[in-house]
Chains A and B, each alone.
Chain A
């Protein structure tokens, strides 16, 4: 070995040889077969970002990234193309996507900050609105059948595709079938050999993003037939039954796959950006007058950060307590200019109170038990996104960039605070690849996260 070094060194003296390092090894599929990959899920799987669905978001979805890595594999790697119900434009569908812009305070035009604004030149693209207006495989296959907004609770709902504008774009029978019918149709059509399923977040998120306005006890009754209000938390038996049916359909062609569980909402910027003690008082006189205003309740305000005044679920005014969450959608102008959070409460639909958070935590835990059981029972791999995303608030450093749950600066979450940036989706894809490689003894190459973009600034 030493000899070779010396000879190599001498050879280099007389020629312009350059050092080179190549430690890549060809990826392998292990016990998995990635030939026909199908992605099932909701907005997170569809590539939804910046509060809308748009073409660039879709081609940066985590299933697209997974497919690209699967297609690098020679034997049992992904073949053909990856078909998604692609939109035509980056306008946003059906509403505008958010972009970075300057926002001005209503009561103080000099007080500007950098934040998310609706795409200023938005106009609905007519091609985007047309149904079945995207390339599909030779037999009409779609690989990514994710529907933004869909809940596990929605799977047996007849005519669901008619009520959801995203489903309406590609469901083969939007009005006359259920999402389960659609799933069966797509499975029969594609014959997936491998699938990923990331469902369930909306069964609790709908309740959470509405500020906990519906029934949080998991004892909600259907509003109509088997349809549950999107403001409620889906009852456990309904979730379990529907989820199992969807899994059984997905593996009916012998596919292997990955089930991805539901993240903790407390690791999502939508809920964590505005702290419950975000009432900043810069003058003693202001603190004194607020203290006087709430003298009957014995609330004391001090210079610096104070807990907001909120409206709880029963509509009763009180001061927030540690651990309560204020939603990212809370109108800033109302706080800055109309006295919300101080002289007036922050409205209940923008607040998750302690008991509401407990309902959400409880439901998330129950759903994740169901998902974990399904993975074991059907010999599928479980991707513990709940545990992974819990590590993100502290930050994950990747090739020199710190990714965390900070809104905008954390790079992983898009401007809506719930969905991810292309880099965030690549990070998620890498977690899924880790779980797949462990379970199926494959060596799918992980993604170079920084190759894709984070938040873009004008």
Chain B
């Protein structure tokens, strides 16, 4: 006889994870203000991220710090009603130190600490998609020691080793209710780490025309020993025991090509174009493996099938005077998430990005930067077949940021 009638799975619905929305392109404020482009032109020490090959082009050692504030909001609607995510605020930061070891040296050294993936989404606990996600949060910091060498006046190369560390939090309702009709919940929390690299070629054809080519490797974030906490009715304590889990979250590779030029004879205007090819298709499924299993608590497996994307970024910097410059830019960032796989934990859609910014150099050696990014997704009629959860999503985010750098 079946000993426990309560067999089968009180299905843990699923959950997905990261898409373009989790990839932050905020690693340098001047680049952010130019639509996120910066592969070709080594503006400052943030080239450690944008193109390690450009580091040997800096004239001296530079210390660079910046902080941003992201405030994304996602709206959801179906034929029965609509809801909006709870306002979340996230403050990614960047810190770089580096440059040529002494004036006119061919060797550049540096260290970057930056936030390439992150953000979160929190819905009302009782919203329609609560059995798929109530909140998700991911913060990822990369530490990248970098070496760069100027082979010739034309070509400079660079490479950095990436150590990544991140926190992962997830909460969803479980389809069992207590006598007060409240849903049970699952809460996952864990810390992940991984390693990768960032290499680049920087090419200076003339003073007015430069090129860049970089490859940032995939970083496999391994998460083990994460805590899985179940808040369930008493009678189900043994059915859903608190346990630990492990998973792997692949952060995708990015291949970038950029061109920068100064079209005007007065050299005040710099225009640049970047293309980013992101290898999202490495992310074909997500598995959560629990340490303890019961008839109802089984490992989760959610199919993804992300596709690679090509992002186009365009920006300009206009030097008004020796002290003040202004920047503007735009980008188009198509979603890696194919329809049928659009989960409300990351309701990703094609994004349109508009940016602006300014820099001032009040005294010698110090530059202060400010930038602002506005992102809107295109409204998407999305399907999530795995949880049969469909609807229309629209996401917007405004990201202001400030920063400063000092040249030694």
Give A residues with C-beta under 8 Å from B. 5-6, 9-10, 12-13, 17-25, 100-102, 111, 113-115, 273-274, 278-280, 332, 335-336, 341, 396-402, 406-411, 445-446, 448, 450, 453-458
Which of A279, A400, A445, A457 contacts B79 (CB under 8 A)? Answer: A445
Those of B1-59 within 8 Å (CB) of chain A: 1-11, 13-14
**Is B243 interfacial (CB-CB < 8 Å)?**
no
A-B pairs, 10 with minimum CB distance = A400-B131, A21-B77, A457-B233, A400-B13, A397-B388, A400-B387, A400-B132, A19-B394, A19-B75, A21-B75
A186 to chain B, nearest CB (A): 32
Quick check: A13 and B6 within 8 Å, CB to CB? no
The one of A5, A6, A399 in contact with B389, judged by C-beta atoms closer than 8 angstroms, is A399
Task: Please indicate the chain A residues that have their CB under 8 angstroms from the CB of B82 in the complex.
Answer: 20-24
Q: Does B234 belong to the interface (CB within 8 Å)?
A: yes
Knowing that A332-B1, A409-B6 are A-B contacts, what are 20 other residue pairs whose CB atoms are under 8 Å apart, sorted by A's residue number?
Answer: A18-B75, A18-B396, A19-B75, A20-B75, A21-B379, A22-B77, A278-B1, A280-B1, A400-B175, A400-B388, A400-B389, A401-B11, A408-B5, A446-B80, A453-B177, A455-B177, A456-B233, A457-B177, A457-B233, A458-B235
Contact between chains at B3 and A111 (CB < 8 Å):
yes
With contacts A18-B75, A397-B387, A411-B175 taken as known, whether A113 is within 8 angstroms of B235 at the C-beta atoms is no
Interfacial chain B residues near A408, Cβ < 8 Å: 5-6
**B233 & A399 in contact (Cβ 8 Å cutoff):** no
Whether A114 contacts B76 by the Cβ 8 Å rule is no
Contacts of A23 in B (CB 8 A): 77-79, 82, 391-392
Q: How far is the CB of B7 from chain A (nearest CB, A)?
A: 7
CA distance A124 to B84 in the complex (A): 46
Contact B175 A454 (CB under 8 A): yes
B398 contacts A by Cβ under 8 Å: yes
Q: Is B360 in the interface zone, CB < 8 Å from A? A: no
A114 and B79 contact, Cβ closer than 8 Å, known pairs A12-B398, A457-B179:
no
B178 partner, pick from A21, A273, A398, A458, beta carbons under 8 A: A458
Q: How far is the CA of A400 from the CA of B1 in the complex (A)?
A: 31
Considering the chains assembled together, what is the distance between the CA atoms of A453 and B179 in angstroms? 10
- Given contacts A273-B5, A446-B79, is CB(A457)–CB(B176) below 8 Å? yes
**B77 in contact with A401 (CB, 8 Å):** no
Could you tell me if B79 and A24 are in contact, using CB atoms closer than 8 angstroms? yes
Cβ contacts under 8 Å, B76 to chain A: 21
The answer to the question of B272 belonging to the interface, with a C-beta cut-off of 8 Å to chain A, is no
Contacting residues, chain A, for B73 (C-beta < 8 A): 18-19
Chain B residues within 8 Å of A279, by CB = 1
Task: Give every chain B residue within 8 A of A278 (Cβ-Cβ).
Answer: 1-2
Contacts of A407 in B (CB 8 A): 5
Nearest neighbor of A18 in chain B, beta-carbon distance: B73
Given A400-B129, A409-B10, A457-B177: A20 and B5 interface contact (C-beta under 8 Å): no
By beta carbon, the residue of chain A nearest B384 is A400
CA of A410 to CA of B132, assembled, Å: 17
Residues of A contacting B247 with CB < 8 Å? none
B9 proximity list for chain A (CB < 8 A): 402, 409
**Among B7, B233, B387, contact of A409 (Cβ-Cβ < 8 Å):** B7
Question: How distant is the Cα of A144 from the Cα of B271 in the complex, in angstroms?
Answer: 73
- Using A19-B376, A445-B79, A458-B179 as known contacts, say yes or no to A114 and B4 having CB atoms under 8 A apart: yes
Point out the residue from A113, A450, A458 that lies within 8 Å of B234, measured CB to CB: A458
Alpha-carbon distance A209/B396, docked complex (angstroms)? 57
CB contacts (< 8 Å) of B2 on chain A: these are 274, 278, 280
Closest to A340 in B: B1
A445 to B376, alpha carbons, bound, how many Å?
30
Q: Which residues of B contact A409 (CB under 8 A)?
A: 6-10, 296
Q: Is the CB of A456 within 8 A of B179?
A: yes
B188 interfacial by beta-carbon distance below 8 Å: no
Q: Which of A445, A450, A458 contacts B128 (CB 8 A)?
A: A450
Contact between chains at B176 and A9 (CB < 8 Å): no
| Least CB distance, B25 to chain A, in whole angstroms | 18
17 A-B Cβ contacts within 8 A? A9-B376, A10-B354, A12-B374, A19-B84, A21-B379, A21-B391, A21-B393, A24-B81, A24-B82, A113-B6, A396-B388, A400-B13, A400-B175, A409-B7, A446-B80, A456-B177, A457-B179
